[in-house]
Amino acid sequence: MERRKWEELNRDCLVNILGRLGIEELVFDIPFVCKSWYKTSLDPECWKSLNFYEVSFIDNFSFLGKSFKKKYIDHYKVGNFMVDRFVEFVVNRSRGSATSVALPEYSTTNKTLEYIVDGCPKLRMLNVPMSLNDLGSKLVEWKHLECLTIVGYGISQTEVIKQISLNCKNLKALFIGTQINKEDALALGTMPKLNYLGLRGCLIYHEDLLLVLKGCVKLEFLDLGNCTSIGSPRLWGDITTDLANDSEVLNLVSSIKSVVFKGRGVEEALKQYCIDGTSYLMGYLPLRIALN
């Protein structure tokens, strides 16, 4: 029986396959298989999910082989490599079709964010590092945004949370690790369409957490893992609350399908909630989930 040649694979089928690959495969491998695969790899449908987070832009030790930067310079015969320009290159390949973008945690600048704003108008899922101070002003551009993950801990995101509540009316999933103050809690409480909320690692006053839970009435998934809830600033100072045994919290979360107070409960949820085959909870991988 004659074996079918890969280069003769139906184009629609090939686009479907290539669209499931990562950026590195689409940049370094697929274009060099054959001419038909190269042409197919230029189809914007292959570039709908852009996960830059999985790309290591940090130079590797020599025994691990060529670094990403070195491979790119060698393959495309360019003089140097800049993360911003590479993001622009990939975004241009998508030709406005990208629906999900995960930016690298340590190599992203506000200029990188500009490329995403200009080149990804259909964005539904965004994963960004907390260090981007222009994020709040850009959210108005993404009317279709359904999932936002802000990677990192500790820096106040009051302006970002405010802009989310004002501009992201279709948001269904929000994952953030920071200090949540009263203003943040009130803003979160005005997002009744949220189905998935992750506050892993957050520091929040008990009464403010109750405000959030009372406002977000459609939650199906809630992660409070490693979340530090402390007593009222007026009454209890810094007394820590055990959320897993707090009667007020338990009463408010009783109707939520999946609640995580600690540990690895999010792993099952990773398999369930998706946009175009990409998990809503993609951002929880970069957040380095504590496994205790």
Instruction: For 159-204, write each residue's pLDDT tens digit.
Output: 888 888 888 889 989 988 888 888 999 999 888 789 989 888 888 8
Handedness of CA 9, 11, 12, 18 (dihedral sign): positive
Listed by start position, the domains of the chain span 1-97, 124-292
Which of 38-47, 53-62, 234-243 is least confident? 234-243
132 pLDDT more than 80:
no
Distance in angstroms (rounded) separating the CA atoms of residues 165 and 250: 25
Per-residue pLDDT at 92: 92
Query: CATH for 124-292?
Result: 3.80.10
Per-residue pLDDT at 187: 92
pLDDT tens digit sequence for 212-230: 999 999 998 898 887 877 6
Compute the average pLDDT of residues 126-151: 85
pLDDT mean across residues, the chain: 79
Which of 33-47, 86-100, 208-222, 263-277 is least confident? 263-277
Cβ atoms within 10 Å, residue 242: 9
pLDDT tens digit sequence for 262-287: 755 455 455 555 555 555 555 544 33
Nearest partner of 224 among 251, 191, 195, 201, judged by Cα: 201
Q: Which amino acid, residue 226?
A: N
The answer to whether residues 152 and 128 touch, using CB atoms and an 8 Å cutoff, is no
Per-residue pLDDT at 80: 81
